[in-house]
Chain A
Amino acid sequence: MSEVRGDVAVLENPKGSGPQSELRRAARVMVAARWPVFAVIFLTVAAIAATLGSWLAPFDPNRQNLVLRLADPMTAGPDGGVFLLGSDALGRDVFSRLLYGARVSLTVGFAAITVGGTIGIVAGLLSGYFGGWLDDLIMRLGDIQLAFPFILLAIMFLVVLGSGVWNLILVLGVGQWVTYARIVRADTLSLREKEFVEAARAMGDSTLSIIFRTILPNILAPLTVIASFNVASVILSEAALSFLGLGVPPDVPTWGSMLAESRDTLVANKWWLAVFPGVAIMLTVLSFNILGDWLRDFLDPRLRERT
């Protein structure tokens, strides 16, 4: 099979399995779909803001300027700087706070799915491989958790545990494990009977080695799709919880808490306080959703039914 791109004929690797041809196929699917390219660009920018925010920010995000409160976007700030996106009710620079907010959103997003993914993968592997009462116990626990509206669970625990990045990660992470566990379990069930697992068993590999070295690597790919959608929904939940005042401590700027603060000046039409943090959340979440869609189409169109 060949395809003509301009004057270059791209020949597909006949086996289609080399890592290089896979990468090339990934890139081609991505460029053809167009949107994923924008998503990757935006997420790169967000990642840079999250890691280098303290150097890139023109001002200290918590520095108050009582004289320059509620300054319009693009007006002069202190020390010859410019409030690119205006200043808030305490005279803090909105742009600098947005950059710092990226750190919280992305850190919490990734850390929470790492927690949830790890619990879910281990639970799903054990459930699918051993079956029996363990399987029953794990899956019924999952049913119970899913029957409980997640946001209420999160609210309840955060009210009591108090706010903080770690509590947020823990609560949001534990909220996600069931999704991973169900998918891993189903895949483990079908892989358990495959020849290569039989072979590992026949060669005397330990049960742990079979589960984590033989089965686990074969079920990871579809999980990246789930993880991508999951980061999106975790970031949405984090924003909602921060908006309710249940997120991180008040001295840490987050997109959700910036929106909560913007409500007081809404009637005075200080639109920039309400617009920019929301746009930041929307674009981040949208990018992860687009990326998830692309990964799904790339890896296996049949996955559509499961998500």
Chain B
Amino acid sequence: MGAYIVRRLLQSIIVIIGVTLVSFLALQAGGDPTYLFVSERASTEEIEATRRALGFDRPLHEQYLGFVGDLTRGDFGQSLSYRQPAMEIVLDALPATIELTLFAMILALILAIPLGVLAAINRGTAWDGSITTMSMVGQSIPSFWMGIMMILFFGLYIRLFPISGNVPFLKPLLAGDFGVAFSNLPRTLYHLVLPGIAVGTYSLARNTRLVRSSLLEVLEQDYVRTARSKGIAELRVLVHHALRNAWLPVVTIIGLEFGFLLGGVVVVETVFSYPGIGRLLFAAINQRDIPLVQAGVILLASIFIVLNLLVDLVYVRLDPRVKLDGGRG
């Protein structure tokens, strides 16, 4: 167990180093990055001065070590458009993104479990057929289009939910302002409904299929047949024998889920003018504010990696059958 944790930790550190290397190389991939930092009318002297000031005249490996050195000191560079430390801006937008991601994730899990179970225990019936078809469709809808359609329908046509913005809950909570946080909560959730559904639909569809297939597999196992033949009630067989083992694949994907959700969050935030990291990244992309893009990407990637690490460790505790020495290959 101890050795496994150490190896997974080391692996995660290597991956985070990989992330910094990729973010660094991405900046270099388009040729001399100096031109991103100067105006189009800059003189040759200005360009030369900027190049030296930002260190782009040094050899690549030196530049990379300098970049990583800055990162470890928490210095992600200055945002070109805000003229503020990039990480401060990104961290400021993080709570809103976490609220949206969590909301979508919980929504996807809470609905996926009953739907998947319903489909599995009614295998081959109309229930199963419509749930599987719906989840196939759900996996084929681009999250941002889902968002646009919901704005059109719920926001403009029947005017049921707000179509933009966010009422902060985590931010006052983290600042210790519990009164504000909890009085905000109902409106926070109200604003999260539409973007949350848009982000969560793909995951909901995927999880439903996963719960269904995982439960179907478990239901065919000998111990389930044994339990049934002992005369145990079907509901008890389902809850105590089958679902317990069907959890495991579901737990594994919760970590990966974050990665899938992120893809949706970045674009859906833009659709709903939701003030999180996604919309910030979108604006930074359009203004070619590379340090801000780097800070956002590195932060989100690191969260993803740490979550995956935690999920792996939880998984080992949940399932004693997991081989600790063979890795996951």
Residue positions of A touching B, CB distance < 8 A: 139-140, 143-144, 147-153, 155-157, 159-162, 232, 236-237, 239-240, 243-246, 256, 259, 262-263, 266-267, 269, 271, 274-275, 277-278, 281-283, 285-286, 289-290, 293, 304
Given contacts A149-B259, A267-B156, A274-B148, contact A290 B136 (CB under 8 A): yes
Chain B residues with CB below 8 A from A159, complex form: 26, 285, 288, 290, 293
Given contacts A271-B152, A289-B136, contact A160 B26 (CB under 8 A): yes
B282 interface residue, CB < 8 Å from A?
yes
A sample of 16 more A-B contacts (CB under 8 A), given A160-B29, A266-B156, A278-B149, is: A147-B15, A149-B258, A152-B262, A159-B26, A159-B290, A236-B142, A239-B142, A244-B270, A245-B285, A259-B142, A259-B144, A259-B145, A278-B142, A281-B145, A283-B140, A290-B136
B266 interface residue, CB < 8 Å from A?
yes
Chain B residues with CB below 8 A from A246, complex form: 285
Q: Which of B17-25, B171-179, B229-237 contacts A (4 or more CB under 8 A)?
A: B17-25
B219 interface residue, CB < 8 Å from A?
no
CA distance in complex: A74, B211 (Å) = 45
CB–CB B142/A282 < 8 A = yes
Nearest CB in chain A: distance from B221 CB, A: 14
CB–CB B22/A148 < 8 A = yes
Within 8 A of A (CB), among B91-135: none
B166 interface residue, CB < 8 Å from A?
no
Chain B residues with CB below 8 A from A278, complex form: 141-142, 145, 148-149
Given contacts A144-B15, A148-B301, A278-B149, contact A155 B142 (CB under 8 A): no
Chain A residues with CB below 8 A from B281, complex form: 155
A-B pairs, top 6 by smallest CB distance, nearest first, are: A278-B145, A286-B140, A151-B263, A160-B30, A285-B140, A144-B18
Residue positions of B touching A, CB distance < 8 A: 11-12, 14-15, 18-19, 22-23, 26-30, 33, 136-137, 139-145, 148-149, 151-152, 156, 213, 258-259, 262-263, 266-267, 270-271, 281-282, 285-286, 288, 290, 293-294, 297, 300-301, 304-305, 308, 329
Residue of A148, A244, A304 near B282 (CB, 8 A) is: A244
Given contacts A240-B267, A290-B136, contact A162 B30 (CB under 8 A): yes
Chain B residues with CB below 8 A from A283, complex form: 140
Chain A residues with CB below 8 A from B141, complex form: 278, 282, 285
B265 to chain A: closest residue by CB: A151
Number of A-B contacts (CB under 8 A): 141
Given contacts A143-B11, A160-B29, A244-B285, contact A281 B149 (CB under 8 A): no
CB–CB A149/B15 < 8 A = no
Chain A residues with CB below 8 A from B11, complex form: 143
Chain B residues with CB below 8 A from A262, complex form: 148
B261 to chain A: closest residue by CB: A149
B19 to chain A: closest residue by CB: A148
CB–CB A259/B262 < 8 A = no
CA distance in complex: A160, B149 (Å) = 31
CB–CB A150/B285 < 8 A = no
CB–CB B267/A152 < 8 A = no
Nearest CB in chain A: distance from B27 CB, A: 6
Nearest CB in chain A: distance from B103 CB, A: 19
CA distance in complex: A195, B136 (Å) = 41
CB–CB B267/A243 < 8 A = yes
Nearest CB in chain A: distance from B186 CB, A: 26
CB–CB A274/B297 < 8 A = no
Chain B residues with CB below 8 A from A282, complex form: 137, 140-142, 145
B36 to chain A: closest residue by CB: A160
Nearest CB in chain B: distance from A285 CB, A: 4
CA distance in complex: A155, B286 (Å) = 11
Nearest CB in chain B: distance from A136 CB, A: 10
CA distance in complex: A149, B30 (Å) = 21
Question: Could you list 15 examples of A-B contacts with CB < 8 Å?
Answer: A143-B11, A143-B15, A147-B304, A148-B22, A150-B259, A152-B266, A155-B266, A156-B22, A161-B29, A240-B142, A244-B270, A259-B145, A266-B151, A274-B152, A285-B140
A281 to chain B: closest residue by CB: B142
CA distance in complex: A160, B23 (Å) = 10
CA distance in complex: A156, B300 (Å) = 13
B284 to chain A: closest residue by CB: A159
Chain B residues with CB below 8 A from A304, complex form: 213
B296 to chain A: closest residue by CB: A152
Chain A residues with CB below 8 A from B156, complex form: 266-267, 269
Nearest CB in chain B: distance from A248 CB, A: 15
CA distance in complex: A293, B140 (Å) = 13
A229 to chain B: closest residue by CB: B139
CB–CB B148/A232 < 8 A = no
B262 to chain A: closest residue by CB: A149
CA distance in complex: A239, B147 (Å) = 14
Chain B residues with CB below 8 A from A281, complex form: 142, 145
CA distance in complex: A139, B213 (Å) = 28
CA distance in complex: A271, B156 (Å) = 11
Nearest CB in chain A: distance from B113 CB, A: 20
CB–CB A232/B140 < 8 A = yes
Chain A residues with CB below 8 A from B304, complex form: 147-149
CB–CB B149/A152 < 8 A = no
Nearest CB in chain B: distance from A169 CB, A: 15
Nearest CB in chain A: distance from B249 CB, A: 10
Chain B residues with CB below 8 A from A162, complex form: 30
Given contacts A156-B297, A159-B288, contact A149 B137 (CB under 8 A): no
